[in-house]
Amino acid sequence: MKPENHIYIIGIGMGDPRNLTVEAAEAIETADLLIGAKRVLVPYEKSKRCVASYQTKEILQMCLDRDAQEQMQEENTRRESTGQQLESFRKMRIRQHAESTERVENIAVLMSGDSGFYSGTKALLAALEAEWGEKAVHSRVTVLPGISSLSYFCARIGRSWEDAEIVNLHGVQENLWQAVLTHEKVFAITGGNVKQHLQQLAEHGLGDVYGYVGENLSYMHMTEQRSEESCAAKSEQRNTEQEISTTAMSTKMQDGDDALWECISEGTVRELAQKHYANLAVLYLENPAAVSTNLWGLPDESFIRGEVPMTKAEVRAVVMSKLRIRDKDVVYDIGAGTGSVSVEMALAARKGKVYAIETNSVAIELCKLNRQHFCLHNMETIEGMAPEALQDLPAPDVAFIGGSKGLLREIVELLYRKNPAIRLVINTITVENTATALTLLESEQFIDVEMVQLQVSRAKKAGTSHMLTAQNPITILTARGKGAKL
């Protein structure tokens, strides 16, 4: 029977080994093998056996198979010496299994930052549990925390962070503009493109917000101490050069070059947007003029408008209250028009996805303009007729039907097939459409059916007096699919 190895998943902090906890340093010292991204392995390459990999599947295989560790190390050596991409070779080698070795190996998987803060730890633990079961993972895997980029950077700039909004822009499309607009403190993991993010904030009215950019955190301690003058000089140099890639920085540091060093810049967003930054960077922004996080019923003049009819602010506010959109929801806006409802949906589902479906090409262009106006990376416009245009889209958690082109029944039936637990809101103007919608929702497929009629009157100045002018009444129907949890 092959002996079991023990696996440590270690948050190593920013990169400087002196930021490690004592327990983490001891685990690294006693480990027979270190696995992690190339950058985090650099301090240990001369003293420890290291294999560079950051992909969960590869790390999992090495944790399960000690022969794969040898083959991955061989592949790393060949890659460095030849510069060739050996993907097929690596995958073939990783699939091979050792049957005879009796040596027990302690493996340390190194994760940058803290093991519980936007780390690969979560995915690796899930993969190990799928292989071994939860009980075995508890006995064979130890997770050790590290200093996160959030806690390190806020300490460096003298700011508390318990009330900061945290935004992850690394590989995902969260809305930084919305976060800064609605929160007094925002911390962002950038994943690069810092200059682009800052320019976007400046272009959309947030140029006076004060902030800090932290580059290559802690790495100043791995070479020589950097002065403010040298940091500023190097930042100026980057204004005329390509941004330094993470791969290039890791290679330079390994070769003894001092390309990696900590640099912290501060100023208004408009000022910071004039500079270039390293890819390994974070942002901290302060907006004392932040507005409410509830962005329902935005003023009509907030939107770019044309001749296409737009759902008015008061109606949008009620519709949004009925939709009850959550952060990660997938949402349809069917008959999106100018996109005013789609925009508010996307602001609510900031970690989700909104599909604005519209047949009118002029309206589609307005939707795109409003998406750009509100910096909404999570809103996608679909030109086409429902229900056909919905066929290949991901199943929705929530859907709003503002226009159906006479195909209300077909649309509702398709939505229910896609998600029997869907939350559905339908706006109607005509009596006939109201009757059709109510009949559909009162079928056995839906529960919690509600119907309200909203009539808004707006005041207009008439001489020295004011006169209320009535808008068309709107009927709003709401229901949940019968598959919804009670």
What is the topology classification, in CATH, of domain 300-481?
Answer: Rossmann fold (3.40.50)
Question: Residue 62: which pLDDT band, with cuts at 50, 70 and 90?
Answer: confident
Nearest-5° angle of CA 454, CA 455, CA 461?
145
Say yes or no: do domains 6-147 and 300-481 share a fold.
no
Model-wide pTM > 0.75: no
pLDDT, position 257:
41
Q: What is the pLDDT of residues 119-139, one digit of tens each?
A: 999 999 999 999 989 998 999
Helix (H/G/I), strand (E/B), else coil: 43: helix
Report phi then psi at 288, rounded to 5.
Answer: -65, -15
Report whether the peptide linkage leading into residue 387 is cis, meaning its omega lies within 30 degrees of zero.
Answer: yes
- Which of 103-112, 142-151, 158-167, 240-249 is least confident? 240-249
Q: Centre a 10 Å sphere on the Cβ of residue 480 and count the other Cβ atoms it contains.
A: 21
Quick one: which of 294, 421, 427 has its CA closest to 348? 294
Residue 408's SS3 state is: helix
In sequence order, what are the beta bridge partners of 214?
264, 282
What does residue 290 show for φ and ψ, rounded to 5 degrees?
A: -60, 145
Percent of the chain with pLDDT over 90: 59
Backbone angles phi, psi at 477, to 5 degrees: -110, 135
| 150-286 fold | 3.30.950
Q: What is the pLDDT of residues 450-468, one digit of tens each?
A: 999 999 998 988 888 999 9
| In the chain, domain spans | 6-147, 150-286, 300-481
Question: Strand, helix or coil at 8?
Answer: strand
Give the residue from 17, 72, 75 showing the smallest Cα distance to 47. Answer: 17
Class of CATH domain 6-147: alpha beta
